[in-house]
Amino acid sequence: MSKRVYDIKVERCGGSTYFLEEYKGKVLIIVNTATNCALNDQFEGLETLYQKYKNDGLVVLSFPCNNFDNQEPGSMDEIYNTYRRRFGITFPIHSKTIVNGDNEHPLYTLLKREKPGLFGSQIKWNFTKFVIDREGKVVGKYLPYDSPEEMEEFIKELLNE
């Protein structure tokens, strides 16, 4: 079992894989996303944060997820095009990712271990957001109904460290 976020290998939307160590020294927001989720208006806030702070070292990483009510049923091509065209996303999009259960991705196993919820470690819904500091530590967790704007002050503090 991986002990650091940087040790985790993930798959880009196009199928190539890489280790999150590629983002060493950056502040990361890792979020499970879904096109058909009622919370998809958060794409706009996440993109705004990314555009505002990417030159300071912020990276938002989207992990499309079909774990909740079949809200991300499309192919990866469909998901990619929807995220780029409909939602205007420019931050990195990854392959569909399982966030709970026996086949959950090791990234989510680590994130949930480091920042469990009050009532257990399972991801409850789409748009659960984890914040990783420049050292690769999981330092924050924001619930689905927490808006990206609510994260901004914390993100600014981390970027200024």
Q: Residue 13 has which token pair?
A: 């939307």
Active-site annotation holder among 37, 46, 79, 132: 37
What is the spatial distance between Cα 103 and Cα 114, in angstroms, rounded to a whole number? 19
Which ranges of the chain does DSSP label H, i.e. alpha helix?
42-53, 76-81, 106-114, 152-159
Give 115's DSSP letter.
S
What is the spatial distance between Cα 47 and Cα 38, in angstroms, rounded to a whole number? 17
What is the spatial distance between Cα 10 and Cα 161, in angstroms, rounded to a whole number? 27
Annotated catalytic, 37? yes
Catalytically active residues are 37
